[in-house]
Amino acid sequence: MDFDVIVIGAGAAGMFAASIAAQRGKKVALIEHRSSPGEKIRISGGGRCNFTNLHTSPENFLSDNPHFCKSALSRYTPADFLALMHRYGIGWHEKHKGQLFCNDSAEQIITLLRNECATGKVYWFMPCKVGSVSHSKCKFVLATEAGELHSAKLVIATGGLSIPKTGASDFGYRVAKRFDHEIIPTRAGLVPLTFDLSQWQPFSALSGLSLPVEVHTCSNASERGKRVSFYEDLLFTHRGLSGPAILQISSYWQNKGSLDINLLPSINLGRALIEKKKQSKSQLGTSLESYLPKSLVQLWLKQSALWEEASTRKIAELNDQLLRNLGSTFHRWSLTPSGSEGYRKAEVTVGGVDTRQISQQTMESSKLPGLYFVGEVLDVTGWLGGYNFQWAWASGFACGSSV
Ligand SMILES: Cc1cc2nc3c(=O)[nH]c(=O)nc-3n(C[C@H](O)[C@H](O)[C@H](O)COP(=O)(O)OP(=O)(O)OC[C@H]3O[C@@H](n4cnc5c(N)ncnc54)[C@H](O)[C@@H]3O)c2cc1C
């Protein structure tokens, strides 16, 4: 069977690239090894898919080659995807910081993509496994469960390694290596962080507690020594920390170094306690509870005999220096994760096919013309908040409209 274009992987980027190429009159085959497409779309955003972010800009992405994503992002914007949603009458709402979600269900986005593929008469091979990929005489030859498929162009849209049960595989990286592409080392991103059991034991009692924080990487813990910070919610878990603040910083944390967490970023706690001292007759513990959750305060004060003893004394009896010191411990909680929950729980894979060997206009390989990579398989990783789907649409569009 001969095609103009074969796309491997029917996720967000693959379905979008296939539909755009097919609607330009190309004969396109789309191969998916699961029995249904777009599993990550289906489970994303709690079933409502955070499908884009209104504030998308290149600064919201991690890559070894940070300028690479600019061209594609500027040629297919959140407004373009919203126009497509509008054509299908899919309702949406903004939740937080420009994050857009479907009003009803993520399934609506999968249906949209399938309809766009149907409009272009894309040929589906699903479920279908690909055995080998070779290239000779300007043609790709794929040995698949459905027989041998041939095409002039091959698009790899097999995504990253996170959540294996959604169909994730290392197929894209293997094809890239086979055709002499470099791979930027991969690691789990947007993932909860874990700590040594003994170090974490006291904090596991706080499991389920959530509060707004500001989290920073220390210079020894982030990419190229850059200090990065996020102001979001943090969630205590049995094994460590999660919540948007931690998921965001986890993409920058390179399996070493410490994180600084400001547990009360909205005020200067030391100064507030010294002010409070002037009119309050309450004990230190009670005073702290007006700023921070009770369970956190109680656990915190147990960490030092001095604070434990001070906690039952009236705040007015305590000296300013003690209050300042105690305040700064909440503002600068420094801790070193031992690892992360890994690909099993990660929303994305950081790293991937090195973009220095890919055209930023078309997503075509400079090593082997006719070979393309789109979506998460590339070394382009978005922050939490709809950026990863926007990258899937933008890179899929760049490829689909030129392949
Ligand atoms: C739980 C979860 C929630 C998320 N929520 C959001 C969100 O709300 N907003 C957001 O922007 N991002 C979110 N993401 C990230 C987002 O889902 C991905 O970045 C995005 O799906 C990447 O699109 P892709 O098409 O490149 O890859 P994928 O969507 O992973 O698609 C790859 C496809 O290729 C198929 N495939 C793999 N190997 C083969 C093979 N050998 N042969 C044939 N087919 C193969 C897979 O089965 C899959 O269908 C979430 C991720 C997870 C895991």
Please report the pLDDT score of residue 220 as a whole number: 55
Please report the pLDDT score of residue 196 as a whole number: 94
Q: What is the pLDDT of residues 304-356, one digit of tens each?
A: 888 888 888 899 999 999 999 999 999 999 999 999 999 999 999 999 999 99
Residue ID of nearest Cα to ligand 1 atom 30? 159
Residue 111 has, within 13 A of its CA and on its CB side, a CA count of 11
Question: Collapsing DSSP states into helix, strand and coil, what is residue 398?
Answer: helix
pTM value is 0.95
Residue ID of nearest Cα to ligand 1 atom 47? 167
Mean pLDDT of the chain: 95
Whats the size of the chain, residue-wise? 403
Cβ < 6 A, ligand 1 pocket: 8-14, 31-34, 37, 39-40, 43-45, 49-50, 130, 157-159, 162-163, 167-169, 171, 347-348, 375-377, 386-389, 392
Give all domains of the chain, ordered by start, each with its CATH number. 2-188+342-400 (3.50.50.60), 189-258 (2.40.30.10), 269-333 (1.10.8.260)
Q: What is the pLDDT of residues 75-90, one digit of tens each?
A: 999 999 999 999 999 9
Instruction: Tell me the CA–centroid distance for residue 349 and ligand 1, in Å.
Output: 10
Please report the pLDDT score of residue 218 as a whole number: 75
Question: Collapsing DSSP states into helix, strand and coil, what is residue 322?
Answer: helix
| Average pLDDT, integer, range 158-166 | 95
The residues that bridge with 132 in the sheet, in sequence order, are: 143
The residues that bridge with 242 in the sheet, in sequence order, are: 235
The percentage of residues in the chain with a pLDDT greater than 90, rounded to a whole number, is 91
Query: How many CB atoms within 10 Å of residue 303?
Result: 11
pLDDT at residue 146 is higher than 70: yes
DSSP 366: S
Q: Which of 34, 44, 250 to mutate to test the pocket of ligand 1 (most atoms within 8 A of CB)?
A: 44
Q: What is the pLDDT of residues 200-234, one digit of tens each?
A: 999 999 999 999 999 998 755 555 556 799 999 99
Q: What is the pLDDT of residues 258-290, one digit of tens each?
A: 999 999 999 999 999 999 988 888 899 999 999
| Average pLDDT, integer, range 165-173 | 95
Of the candidates 255, 259, 247, 258, the residue with the CA atom closest to the CA atom of residue 185: 255
Contacts 24+ apart (CB under 8 A), 358-362: 358/68, 360/67, 360/68, 360/69, 360/70, 360/71, 360/72, 360/398, 361/71, 361/72, 361/398, 361/402, 362/398, 362/399, 362/402, 362/403
Say if residue 58 is preceded by a cis peptide, omega within 30 of 0. no
